[in-house]
């Protein structure tokens, strides 16, 4: 390794250390604030509306992640493997939710469901300002992330085995289920983790489209917003820490699952 190479590694190591240090310091700052008034922090968590928000966050984010995986994976496979008119437009549109400010998605959904003929349907079904609005807002964003991850996965995979399977009499659907999906498992786990994480932390679209209604559409990011508005900084920090803890557990499980897939895939190849 040359002197220049060593310097290059040193510089990126310092940048990496600074960034990781910043992340840890952010978590530590929350912990330090809470330890100053543990009773108040636990008191916030003990409140029924906060416990409701935790359950609702877990439930809606899980549901949205599952929906996102099915929808996003299907579209990614279609765009990756087929050629059809408007393909580039679909590819472009699928990226939009990633690049749009989250509030734009919230206000657009609200206008769609309350200011168009869909409003009559919404009056009957009750989507806006209810739990389905949370799931819809989360899924719209989640699908885009799944699509981007899965498209990259499908694009990087050889279609040879799929074609061989089809030449041996396997249907297209059968080849997708038996060949493509198992090969794309690692991408699926990553996409699911990203979709869940995005859904779990979604705030802007939920605030606008589902409202910030205690006991009805209050998910954990909304709880943080409401606690800050009522001057309960320690409570807000406590909820933030719970979110960090839940996210860390899910990330750990997802990484473990991805590693397991990798090992079993490598074993299979050998």
Partner 1 sequence: MIRPAVTSLILVAVAVALIYRAGAPPSAGNGNSNGSPSTITVLCAAGLSPVMGELTDVFESTAAEDSSIKIDVSYKGSAQLVALHRVAQSGDLLAAADTFYHQPLIDSGLCSPADIVAYQTPCLIVATDAAATGSIDETLLSGKFRTSIPKRGHAAIGRLVASIEGTEKYNSFSRLATVTRETVSQVAGDVDQGVVDIGIAWNTTSLQFENTKSLTVDAWQGYRSSIGVSVLSSSKNVAAAEAFKEFLGGQRAKGILKKHGYLVSDGPGHQGSVEAQP
How far apart (Å, rounded) are the C-alpha atoms in residues 16 and 33?
26
- Over the window 130 to 169, marking each residue x when it contacts partner 1 by CB under 8 A and - when it does not, the resulting string is xxx-------------------------------------
Give the binding range for partner 1 (CB under 8 A) out of 8-16, 52-60, 83-91, 245-253: 52-60
Minimum CB separation of residue 213 from partner 1 in Å reads 5
244 binds partner 1 (CB under 8 A): no
239 binds partner 1 (CB under 8 A): no
Q: How far is Cα of residue 52 from the mean position of the Cα atoms in its chain?
A: 21
How far apart (Å, rounded) are the C-alpha atoms in residues 96 and 144?
8
**Dihedral (CA of 147, 65, 46, 212) sign:** positive
Minimum CB separation of residue 230 from partner 1 in Å reads 5
Q: For the purposes of burial, counting CB atoms within 10 Å of the CB of 28, is it exposed (0-12), middle (13-18) or buried (19 or more)?
A: exposed
**CA angle (40 as vertex; 35, 44 as ends), nearest 5:** 115
Q: How many binding residues for partner 1 (CB under 8 A)?
A: 48
Token couple for 212: 């910030």
Minimum CB separation of residue 228 from partner 1 in Å reads 6
Instruction: Determine how many CB atoms are found less than 10 A away from the CB of residue 6.
Output: 10
231 binds partner 1 (CB under 8 A): yes
Q: How far is Cα of residue 24 from the mean position of the Cα atoms in its chain?
A: 22
75 binds partner 1 (CB under 8 A): no
Binding region for partner 1 (CB under 8 A): 52-53, 55-56, 58-60, 62-63, 65-66, 69-70, 107, 110-111, 114-115, 123, 125-132, 173, 176-178, 181, 188, 207-208, 211-217, 226, 228-231, 233
């Amino acid at each position: 390794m040359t002197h220049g190479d060593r310097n290059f590694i040193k510089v990126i190591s310092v940048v990496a250390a600074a960034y990781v240090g910043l992340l840890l310091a952010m978590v530590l700052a929350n912990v330090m604030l809470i330890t100053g008034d543990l009773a108040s922090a636990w008191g916030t968590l003990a409140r029924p509306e906060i416990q409701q928000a935790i359950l609702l966050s877990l439930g809606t984010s899980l549901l949205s992640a599952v929906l996102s995986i099915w929808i996003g994976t299907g579209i990614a496979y279609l765009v990756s493997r087929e050629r059809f008119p408007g393909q580039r437009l679909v590819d472009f549109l699928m990226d939009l939710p990633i690049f749009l400010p989250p509030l734009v998605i919230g206000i657009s959904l609200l206008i769609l469901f309350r200011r168009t003929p869909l409003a009559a349907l919404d009056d009957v079904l009750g989507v806006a300002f209810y739990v389905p609005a949370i799931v819809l807002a989360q899924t719209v964003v989640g699908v885009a992330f799944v699509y981007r991850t899965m498209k990259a996965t499908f694009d990087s995979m050889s279609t040879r085995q799929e074609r061989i399977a089809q030449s041996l009499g396997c249907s297209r659907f059968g080849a997708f289920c038996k060949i493509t999906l198992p090969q794309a498992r690692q991408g699926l786990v990553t996409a699911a983790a990203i979709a869940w994480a995005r859904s779990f932390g979604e705030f802007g679209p939920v605030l606008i489209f589902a409202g910030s209604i205690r006991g009805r559409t209050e998910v954990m990011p909304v709880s943080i917003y409401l606690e800050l508005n009522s001057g309960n900084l320690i409570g807000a920090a406590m909820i933030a820490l719970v979110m960090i803890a839940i996210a860390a557990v899910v990330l750990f499980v997802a990484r473990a699952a991805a590693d397991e897939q990798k090992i079993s895939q490598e074993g299979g190849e050998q």
